[in-house]
Structures are given as structure tokens and as C-alpha cells.
Amino acid sequence: MNARGSTRISRILSAFLLAAVAIPATAHHSAAPFDMTKKVSISGTVEKWVWSNPHSWLYIRRVKPDGTQEIWGFEAGSAGMLARSGWNSNDMKTGDKVTVTASPSRAGKNVGLISVIKLSNGKELRDGAPVPNY
């Protein structure tokens, strides 16, 4: 094999390697677990606000009309992405009252992908992540 053939094979192998790495990375940040065609609005009390990478999470306790309680978990973007969208780690604290609008789980679990959080002071935090239009 000559040098040109070897270089061509190296380039093809490099392209396959990059594709193999890129596909799982894209899938990891997929909105596939959530039904992006629907929205739920859940009001409750902040149990925990996790400002982190690669995703931040908000957990709220909701009291249902029958008096029973349930915990909902809501996924948001990374801390950096949220900061660029005007959020900060101190926006919510345990005990705060919030209303979350989110795309619900396709599996019917008490989880969702955050679109908007309305804080008790009236401020709205919008997820700055680009969401595909379906």
C-alpha cells in the first residue's frame, strides 16, 4: 500500500471514529423521554434545586386535590446554559412555592422537561435550551 492509500484509510477510520463518538453524545441530550407535544403545569413547594452539569434538576412536592402528596422531578439545562438564560443558583430554595410548566414523561412518570418556572415573586425563568419543533 502506498502513502496515499494509507492516508485515505486513516481519514476514513477517523471519520467513523468521530461519528461513533458524536451519535451517543447527541442521544444523551435527547428530549426523547419527554412528550414535547404536551405541557403540564404543576404547582408545589421546592424540595430540592440541583444546579449542576450536564443537567440541573428541580424537585417539588405537590399536594393533590385528595390531600395526598407526590414528588415531581423536572430536568433543566446545564448550569452554564441556564446562567446564560438569566437564571442563577439562588433563584429557588427549599420551601419556595413555584409553578412549573413542562413537557411530561412519555412513560407517565412524575418527571418533566422544564419550559417555564414561575416563582412566588412573579418572576418567570424560561429554559433557554433549543427545543425541536415537532
In terms of domains, do 21 and 68 share one? no
In terms of domains, do 68 and 9 share one? no
In terms of domains, do 55 and 1 share one? no
pLDDT value of residue 20: 41
pLDDT value of residue 23: 39
Three-state DSSP class for residue 53: coil
In terms of domains, do 22 and 66 share one? no
Strand partners, 111: 73
In terms of domains, do 24 and 67 share one? no
pLDDT value of residue 12: 52
- Cβ neighbour number for residue 105 with a 10 Å cutoff: 18
In terms of domains, do 24 and 53 share one? no
Structural domain containing residue 86 = 40-126
pLDDT digits (tens, 9 = 90+) for 22-43: 334 434 457 788 999 999 999 9
In terms of domains, do 52 and 112 share one? yes
How far apart are alpha carbons 54 and 125 in whole angstroms?
Answer: 19
pLDDT value of residue 116: 95
Say if 59 falls within a structural domain. yes
- Region 99-108: mean pLDDT is 96
Say if 79 falls within a structural domain. yes
Asked if 46 contacts 93 with a C-beta cutoff of 8 angstroms, the reply is yes
CATH number of the domain that 91 lies in? 2.40.50.140
| Count of structural domains within the chain | 2
Say if 132 falls within a structural domain. no
In terms of domains, do 22 and 53 share one? no
